[in-house]
Structure 1
Amino acid sequence: MRVAILGAGSIAFGLAAFLAKHGHVPVLWSPSGKRTRGLAKGKPLVAEGAFEFSAKVAVADDCASALAEADGAIIAMPANGHRAAMDAAAPYLRDGQPVIISSHSSFGALYLSKKLAERGTVLPIIVWGTTILTARQQSDHKVQINTVRQKVDVATLPNCASDLGMELCTQLFGDRFIARDGLLAIALSNLNPQNHLGIALMNLTRMEKGETWGQGEHVTPAVGRFIEALDAERLAIAQSFGLSVRTVREHFSLSFHVPMGSVSGMNQQMHAEGRCGFGPKSADSRYVLEDVPFGLLPTVLLGHLSGRPAILHEAGIRIFSAAYGIDLASANDLLLDLALDGLSPEDLKSLCKQGYAA
């Protein structure tokens, strides 16, 4: 299949390498064009680590040409770029052309659904609870693949296209997907924001001072207990909506191939095996600047709607905003147009199953 990848960071490079290695044809598009310059000049895309790959891949000059002959598209960039990517893609997406959001954040699928409905375009929007791999970009054409996840939660908007979404994901990436009950379940399945809150908040001075520190090593028992308490808030919200979602312990076990245990214990094992990587070396990190507005804020919203307030999540937003001296919640450019805070829980569940009608 020919797959347009909207993005050119570590995950986009990793997805392109994975797809090309398995016989598909990825086409990368970078909104700025900066991160694809090496590939555009003919350098091979090189992946090392969890799997190896080296070959030239296609690069598109603009979003329109990336999508023109694609069988499907994947949005693979930080959440703070999702709106711009969706705005760029919406005029060129065609009926039936599936879009995967890797990974879904801040009800971005509803934003895209609304944009497409305004144009009368109907297509499946497939959302992942997390990325299928973790990676770190080494240069303008090299990427280190840290891990390929065993299982990833997936749902499709609208729900009636769920079988198609699952079939497509499996065709592209293999038998590693678990179907969840709609977009709302996926909105409560992205564990990175809560986990990064615990890791970054309790290691903030290391980030600010630019230290090199092992991330798993510093998920100490205190940090692990904090992450588990954050997880309890998320699970309570999911339960109030009648949804089954993965626990944080299941997430670490399935994502990083370690036996189930405490959050700290699993991270310590990953560190001992040399599979955990390093924590952020700067306060200018997606763990805060992306995950706080686009990850924690939606959970707080759902907590208010469900009557199960996410007190620790909300405190995290306020603490980081105070520490950074900015209103991090105001950076979210997806939720404002959706006005979800005015919906009842039942209306939100319905919208998350059907999307906006064209």
Structure 2
Amino acid sequence: MRVSILGAGAIAYGLAAYLAKSGHTPKLWSPSGKRTEALAAGEPLKATGDIEANVAVEVATDCRDAVVGAEVVVIALPVNGHKMVIDAAALHLTDGSPVIISSHSSFAALYLSRRLAERNVKLPIVVWGTTLLSGRQLGPTEVLVSTVRQKLDVATLPFDAQDQGHELCTSLFGDRFVKRDGMLAIALSNLNPQNHLGIALLNLTRMEKGEQWSQGGNVTPTVGRLIEALDAERLAIARHFGIAVRTVQEHFSLSFHVPTGSVSQMNQEMHKRGRGGFGPTTTTSRYVLEDVPFGLLPTVMLGKISRHPAVLHDSGISILSAAYGRDLRADNDILPTLGLESLSDTELMKLSRDGF
């Protein structure tokens, strides 16, 4: 299949390598054009780690070139770039052509749904609870893939296209997708923001000093207990909406293949196995600048709508905003356009299943 990937970071490169190795035809689009210059000049994309590949990939000249003619479009870049990319892609998307959002956050699928409704375009929007893989770029043509997840939550907007979205993802990326009960379940299944809050907040000086530090090794019992308390807030909101979501321990077990225990114990085991990774070495990390406004803020909103306040999530936003000297809430450019905070829980559930 011809699959266009809107993005050019480690996740986009890893997806392109996976698809090309599996016999599909990926095309990358870098909004700035800078990251893909060497690939556009004909150099192959090299992947190492959990994906070993040395493949040719196409590079789009602009968003129109990426979208027109693609059988599937995948949005795979940090969520603080989602609105910009959605605004560009929505002009060229056509009826029936599926879009995958990897990974979904901050109700970006609803924003895309509204933009498409303005043009009377109808298509399935497939949302993932997290990314298919994790890794980092080693250069302009090379990516190290550290993990390919065995299981991945998926839902489709509108809900009546759920089976279609699941079949599409399976045909592209294998039998690893678990159907969840709609987009709202996915919105409550992305655990990275809450986990990164605990990790970043309690290791902030390491980030500021630029130290190299083990992330898994530094999820000590105190950090682990904070992450577990944050998880309890998310689980309470999910129960209110009648949605089954995985616990943070289930997430770590499925994503990193370690025995279930406390969050700290599981991270220590990941560290022992060399899979705990390194923590951020700068305060400009996505753990704060992306996950706080686009990950924590939607959970706080859902807590207010469900009358199960996410006090720790909200406090974390305030503490990090004070530490950074600016209101990180204001960085979210998606939620203010949707007006979801004025909806009742019933109205939000309906919109999350039907779209605009």
- Structures share fold, TM-score greater than 0.5: yes
Secondary structure in 2 matching 1:138: strand
In 2, Cα distance between the equivalents of 1:113 and 1:68? 18
Question: 1:92-123: CA deviations, max 9, x gaps?
Answer: 00100000000000000000000000001000
Per the TM alignment, residue 288 of structure 1 is displaced from its structure 2 partner at its CA by 0.1
Is 1:314 matched up with 2:317?
no
List structure 1 runs of 4+ shifted beyond 3 angstroms: none
Residues of 2 paired with 1:255 and 1:114: CA distance? 32
Q: Is the 8 A contact 2:184 2:352 kept in 1?
A: yes
User: Which string of whole-angstrom CA distances, capped at 9 and with x for unpartnered residues, describes residues 119-156 of structure 1?
Assistant: 01000000000001001011101000010001111100
> What does residue 237 of structure 2 align with?
237
Match of 1:269 in 2: 269
> Which stretches in structure 1 are left out of the alignment for 5+ residues?
none
Q: Which amino acid aligns with 1:219?
A: V
Query: What are the superposed Cα offsets for residues 35-73 of structure 1, whole Å, 9 maximum, x if unpaired?
Result: 111111111101001120012110000111111111110
Q: 2:219 matched to which residue of 1?
A: 219
* Structure 1: distance between partners of 2:203 and 2:141: 31
- Superposed displacement of residue 342, structure 1: 0.5
For normalisation by structure 1, the TM-score amounts to 0.99
Q: CA deviation at 1:307?
A: 0.5
**2:254 maps to which residue?**
254
What is aligned with 1:286? 286
Q: Which residue of 2 aligns with 1:176?
A: 176
Q: For residue 12 of structure 1, what is the aligned residue in structure 2?
A: 12
**Displacement of 1:309 after TM fit?**
0.2
TM-score scaled to structure 2, two decimals? 0.99
**SS of corresponding position for 1:281:** coil
Q: Does 1:68 align with 2:68?
A: yes
Matched with 2:157 is: 157
Q: Which runs of 5+ in 2 are unaligned?
A: none
**Counterpart-to-counterpart distance in 2, 1:142 and 1:207:** 25
1:115 corresponds to: 115
SS of the aligned residue for 1:165 comes to helix
Higher mean C-alpha deviation, range 297-306 or range 262-271: 262-271
Pairs within 5 Å for 1:176-215: 176-215=176-215
Q: CA deviation at 1:214?
A: 0.8
CA distance in 2, matches of 1:3, 1:129: 20
Partner SS for 1:17: helix
Equivalent residue of 1:144, what SS? strand
Deviation at 1:345, TM superposition (A): 0.2
8 Å Cα contact 2:17-2:51 kept in structure 1 = no
- In 1, Cα distance between equivalents of 2:109 and 2:55: 32
Looking at structure 1, the residues matched to 105 and 36 of structure 2 have their Cα atoms a distance apart, in angstroms, of: 24
User: Which residue pairs with 1:38 in the alignment?
Assistant: 38
SS at match of 2:139: coil
1:298-309 equivalences in 2 (<5 Å): 298-309=298-309
Work out whether residues 39 and 141 of structure 2, in 8 Å CA contact, stay in contact via their aligned partners in 1: yes
* 2: CA distance, partners of 1:258 / 1:20: 30
Question: Aligned to 2:277, what secondary structure does the other structure show?
Answer: coil
Shift of 1:301: 0.1
Share of identical aligned residues, percent? 67
One-letter code of the match for 2:90? A
Counterparts of 2:51 and 2:70, CA distance in 1:
25
Once residues 64 and 339 of structure 1 are traced to their aligned partners in structure 2, the CA distance between those partners, rounded to angstroms, is 29
Tell me how far apart the structure 1 counterparts of residues 257 and 272 of structure 2 sit (CA, whole Å): 13
CA root-mean-square deviation: 0.5
Q: Which residue of 2 aligns with 1:28?
A: 28
CA positional deviation for 1:188: 0.3
Deviations 1:78-99 (A, max 9, x none): 0000000000000100100000
Residue type matched to 1:180 in 2?
A: R
CA–CA distance in 2 between the matches of 1:130 and 1:26?
Answer: 20
State the AA in 2 paired with 1:172: L
User: What is residue 55 of structure 1 aligned with on the other side?
Assistant: 55
